Structure 1
Amino acid sequence: GLHALVEGEKPSPCRCSRLTPHNRKNCGFPGITSEQCFDLGCCFDSSVAGVPWCFHPLPNQESEQCVMEVSARKNCGYPGISPEDCASRNCCFSNLIF
């Protein structure tokens, strides 16, 4: 199906982090910066060599269940944050400890 991204809207972390490196679909060009990539509404991750660093995010419906390895999580909230406040920060909420 087709899905449109709002230009300049950085995708949520879930839409980027749940995509395995070998499944990335290139969204940029060689030498693209993270800012240029985000301006295209795409994900940027330069930690894996040999795969696109600027890549299309997962469609929204595929990333609504935000499941991610604990080791891959980065805190972007505070103790007691609500799921709604967390989502408003474009972050993933989970109260599960794996």
Structure 2
Amino acid sequence: MIRHMIFWDLADPDVDRGELETFLKATFDPMVGAVPGLRCAHIGFDQGMGTHDVGLCCDLDSLEALAAYQDYPPHVAFKSWAKEHFKTRCCVDLEVSE
């Protein structure tokens, strides 16, 4: 299984976090079950001890599923949106046992 983790810093630290969290969940929740091999997607704000503002953690069946997720049209649209709303990005893809 692949654990895909992304961390971002907000471009606008004064953004309405409630609205942004609603948007992020509405973007990622429907991908689970729609993208083959995407088991779960959790996204939200750091709780005060991390180094970034927002984190995403997805579990996928395989590297092939990760590749399909990368090309999934709603995810492609989100990546374009993210370039305008986040200033930094850190990504790690780990192989983990189930």
Q: TM-score, normalised by structure 1?
A: 0.26
Q: Which has more strand, going by share of residues?
A: 2
Greater Cα radius of gyration, structure 1 or 2: 1
Greater RCO (CA < 8 Å, at least 6 residues apart): 2
Q: Which has more helix, going by share of residues?
A: 2
